[in-house]
């Protein structure tokens, strides 16, 4: 084991010399890794933001429950505690009937607002209400059904089938995006691995000479594995730079919003660091594994 660790600097030096000596093949391998990881980076950024859009939309979906007008302040407080204790309920916000009227009027034009201003004060026909947030969109229906059985809740609304359709669509996009990124990741591994294998096979005479002069399999493999790791690192540099600077620029240009406020982009940090680590890790691991299997296969064939 001590001998192995002592040999590491020599193997690293050998790997660097091979990268420089076979410059054209190194450039070809790094370019292939770079292009593949750039594609992977783009789709990870897209999938990550689609997932964030889903969370933002689900958070914007709330159950609106009107309160029985006969309840006094103490009764409303007790009712709010009962609602807050329901499973899947995250937050319950009280909205007075004056606030309800104000919210209702906020979406109107000036002429319509003046018409409804006559209802302000004692003439307000609306009821006090609760705005209820749940932990996940798929639990909206469950909470809604429980609210129907609570005395003091006059009526509840959350959008019904439309809200369910939105939740299902967003879940589908999130799952589909994850599957697509996973599939692209597998494709990236395949392409990078084959590129590095081609580079290794082109040097089979070098491996054959080392084998014939008595070098052990481990001694032959290790420099190639380090070489593959460095190819993966070099190939990941440009995609990481694009992620760090490009995504930050995009986020700041769009003020963190894609088209509408409901679609919130992933915050720059720590999102770009997670993506960068994925790209660097993918490049390094695939580089090492591609080199290992390529050399290992050739050594077995040589025997």
Percent of the chain with pLDDT over 90: 6
Q: Can you read off the two tokens belonging to residue 243?
A: 């992620």
**Domain identity same for 36 and 170:** yes
- Helical spans, DSSP H, in the chain: 2-21, 23-60, 73-84, 97-106, 110-116, 140-148, 160-201, 204-212, 217-241, 247-253, 268-302
Choosing from 134, 157, 180, the residue where a domain stops is: 157
225 half-sphere exposure, CB direction, 13 A CA radius: 14
**Domain identity same for 177 and 241:** yes
Average pLDDT, the chain: 76
Q: Is the pLDDT of residue 187 over 70?
A: yes
Decide: helix, strand or coil at residue 154. Answer: strand
CATH number at residue 121: 3.30.70.3040
Q: Is the pLDDT of residue 160 over 60?
A: no
- pLDDT reported for residue 273: 93
**Nearest CA among 286, 232, 291 for reference residue 30:** 232
Range of lowest pLDDT (110-114, 186-190, 246-250): 110-114
Task: Give the model's confidence band at 175: pLDDT under 50 very low, under 70 low, under 90 confident, else very high.
Answer: confident
pTM: 0.65
- pLDDT reported for residue 109: 63
State the DSSP code for 118: G
Q: Can you read off the two tokens belonging to residue 90?
A: 């995250």
**Domain identity same for 80 and 67:** yes
Choosing from 130, 157, 184, the residue where a domain stops is: 157
**Domain identity same for 70 and 48:** no
**Domain identity same for 50 and 196:** yes
Task: Give the model's confidence band at 89: pLDDT under 50 very low, under 70 low, under 90 confident, else very high.
Answer: confident
Please say whether the beta carbons of 36 and 192 come within 8 A. Answer: yes
**Domain identity same for 208 and 290:** yes
Most confident of 84-88, 149-153, 243-247: 243-247
- pLDDT reported for residue 300: 61
Range of lowest pLDDT (70-74, 104-108, 179-183, 242-246): 104-108
**Domain identity same for 85 and 187:** no
Residue whose entry in the numeric block shows the structure tokens 């720590």: 270
Q: Is the pLDDT of residue 180 over 90?
A: no
The contacts of residue 122 (CB under 8 Å, 6+ apart) are none
**Domain identity same for 147 and 175:** no
- pLDDT reported for residue 112: 61
Q: What is the pLDDT of residues 74-85, one digit of tens each?
A: 888 888 888 888
- pLDDT reported for residue 242: 92
pLDDT, average across residues 164-174: 70
Choosing from 139, 157, 175, the residue where a domain stops is: 157
Q: What is the pLDDT of residues 207-254, one digit of tens each?
A: 667 666 666 666 667 777 887 888 888 889 999 999 999 989 988 888
Q: Is the pLDDT of residue 58 over 50?
A: yes
Q: Is the pLDDT of residue 59 over 50?
A: yes
Decide: helix, strand or coil at residue 120. Answer: coil
Q: For residues 106 and 111, what is the distance between their CA atoms, to the nearest angstrom?
A: 12
Q: Is the pLDDT of residue 5 over 60?
A: no
Please say whether the beta carbons of 98 and 122 come within 8 A. Answer: no
**Nearest CA among 23, 14, 21 for reference residue 226:** 14
Q: Which domain holds residue 78?
A: 62-157
**Domain identity same for 263 and 119:** no
Please say whether the beta carbons of 207 and 299 come within 8 A. Answer: yes
- pLDDT reported for residue 196: 65
Q: How many domains does the chain have?
A: 2
The contacts of residue 180 (CB under 8 Å, 6+ apart) are 43, 47
Q: What is the DSSP string of 138-153?
A: GGHHHHHHHHHTSTTE
**Domain identity same for 194 and 147:** no
pLDDT, average across residues 9-29: 69
Residue 146: is it exposed, middle or buried by C-beta count within 10 angstroms (0-12/13-18/19+)? Answer: middle
pLDDT, average across residues 117-122: 62
**Domain identity same for 118 and 267:** no
**Domain identity same for 137 and 257:** no
Q: For residues 136 and 37, what is the distance between their CA atoms, to the nearest angstrom?
A: 33
């Amino acid at each position: 084991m001590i001998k192995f660790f002592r040999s590491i600097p020599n193997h690293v030096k050998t790997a660097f010399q091979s990268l420089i000596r076979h410059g054209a093949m190194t450039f070809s391998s790094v370019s292939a890794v770079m292009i593949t990881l750039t594609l992977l980076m783009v789709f990870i950024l897209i999938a990550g933001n689609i997932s964030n859009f889903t969370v933002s939309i689900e958070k914007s979906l709330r159950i609106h429950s009107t309160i029985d007008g006969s309840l006094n302040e103490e009764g409303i407080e007790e009712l709010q505690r009962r609602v807050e204790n329901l499973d899947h309920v995250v937050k319950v916000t009280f909205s007075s009937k004056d606030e309800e009227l104000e919210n209702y009027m906020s979406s109107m034009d000036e002429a319509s607002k003046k018409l409804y201003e006559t209802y302000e004060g004692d003439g307000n026909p609306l009821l006090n209400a609760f705005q209820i947030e749940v932990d996940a969109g798929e639990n909206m229906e469950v909470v809604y059904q429980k609210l129907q059985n609570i005395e003091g809740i006059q009526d509840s609304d959350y959008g019904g089938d439309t809200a369910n359709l939105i939740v299902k669509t967003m879940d589908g996009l999130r799952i589909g995006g994850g599957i697509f990124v996973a599939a692209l990741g597998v494709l990236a591994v395949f392409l990078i691995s084959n590129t590095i294998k081609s580079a290794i096979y082109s040097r089979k005479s070098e491996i054959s000479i080392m084998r014939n002069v008595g070098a052990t399999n481990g001694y032959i493999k290790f420099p190639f594995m380090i070489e593959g790791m460095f190819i993966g690192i070099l190939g990941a540099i440009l995609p990481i730079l694009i992620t760090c600077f490009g995504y930050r620029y995009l986020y700041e240009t769009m003020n963190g919003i894609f088209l509408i406020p409901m679609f919130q982009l992933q915050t720059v940090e720590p999102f770009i660091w997670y993506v960068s680590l994925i790209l660097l890790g993918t490049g390094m691991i695939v580089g090492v594994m591609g080199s290992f299997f390529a050399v290992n296969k050739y050594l077995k064939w040589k025997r």
